[in-house]
Amino acid sequence: MPSKCSLKPRKLPQQERSRLTVEAILEATTHILTEKGYDKTNTNLIAERAGVSIGSLYQYFPNKKSLIVALREEHSKEIAELLAAKFNHLFDSPPEIAIPELVKAVIAVHAINPRLHQVLSEEIPYSERSQQQMQKTDEQITELLRAYLERWRERFALFDRDRLRPQNIEMTIFIINRTVESLCHSAVIEHPQFVSDSQFEQEVSNLLMSYLIKKPD
C-alpha cells in the first residue's frame, strides 16, 4: 500500500474531456464518502462509480489523500465565499440584525451537505488532512469576524476596559467561531427538527448577543 505525500496532480487536465473526468471523480468521492463513510471508501470503488478506470484517477490525483484534500478545498471555498458575501452585505448592519442573519447563513452552509461535512470533520484520519489548508480556512473566518467586531466596537462589551472582559480579542473570536460552528454542525445532524423552524437560529443568536452586546446601564 504505497502512500506518497505530494498533493499536486501529476497531470493537469487540459482538454474538456479530462476536466469532465476530474469532475466525475470528485462527485464520486463525495457520493461514496457520504454513503459509506470513510473506511468503506476506496479508490477503486470511486473510479468505478465515476465511470472511469482506476488508472485515470491516478493521472489526476497522485494518491488518496490528494482526493480528500481536493474535496475539502471545494467545500471550504464554497463556505468561505458564502460567508464572506454575507459579512460584506451585513458589514454596516448593527449586531441585532447581523448576528441572526449570520447564524442563519452558517446553518444554511451546514445544511448543504451535512453528511459530507460530518465525514470530513469526524472521520478523516489526521494523516489525510492538510493542516495548512484547514488553518487557512479558519483564518479567513477569523478575519471576517474581527473586522465586523471592530466596525461595531462601541456596541460590543469586549472592548470595554473597565469590565472583567478579556483584553484578548483572539479568545473571544475563537469562542464565537467554535460555538457557532459546532452548534450548527451538530444541530443539523442530530436535531434536524430544531433547524426546520427558526427557533434554533434565534436561540443561538440570543446566546451570542447576550454575551457580546453591551447592555445599556
Burial of 184 (0-12, 13-18, 19+ CB in 10 A): buried
Residue with cell 473571544: 172
Sign of the C-alpha dihedral, residues 118, 122, 123, 124? positive
CA–CA dist 31, 47 (Å, integer):
12
User: Is residue 130 within the footprint of DNA (CB under 7 A)?
Assistant: no
Q: Does residue number 93 form part of the binding site for DNA (CB under 7 A)?
A: no
- Residue 187: name its binding partner from DNA, a second copy, none (Cβ under 5 to 8 Å by kind): a second copy
Backbone angles phi, psi at 213, to 5 degrees: -80, 135
**Which of a second copy, DNA, none sits in contact with 3, Cβ below 5 to 8 A by type?**
DNA
Closest CA to 79 of 11, 133, 149, 124: 133
Stretch of 38-46, 68-76, 85-93, 190-198 lying at the interface with DNA (CB under 7 A): 38-46
In 3D space, the residue among 17, 150, 123 whose CA is nearest the CA of residue 68 turns out to be 123
Residue 63 contact among a second copy, DNA, none, beta carbon within 5 to 8 Å by kind: DNA
Position 140 contacts DNA (CB under 7 A): no
Q: Smallest distance, Å, CB 199 to a second copy?
A: 6
Please, what's the b/e burial string for 108-134 (b: 16 or more CB within 10 A of its CB; e: otherwise)?
A: ebbeebbebbbbbeeebeeebbbeeee
State yes or no: residue 43 binds DNA (CB under 7 A): yes
**Looking at 35, 42, 147, 171, which residue binds DNA (CB under 7 A)?**
42
CB of residue 46 to DNA, shortest distance in Å: 8
Residue 52 engages DNA in binding (rule: CB under 7 A): yes
56 belongs to the binding site for DNA (CB under 7 A): yes
Chosen from DNA, a second copy, none, partner binding at 18 (C-beta under 5 to 8 Å by type): DNA
Cβ closest to a second copy, residue 24 vs residue 188 = 188
d(CA 131, CA 197): 35
Least separation in angstroms between residue 211's CB and a second copy is: 5
Q: Which residues bind DNA (CB under 7 A)?
A: 1-4, 11-18, 20-21, 39-44, 52-56, 58-59, 62-65
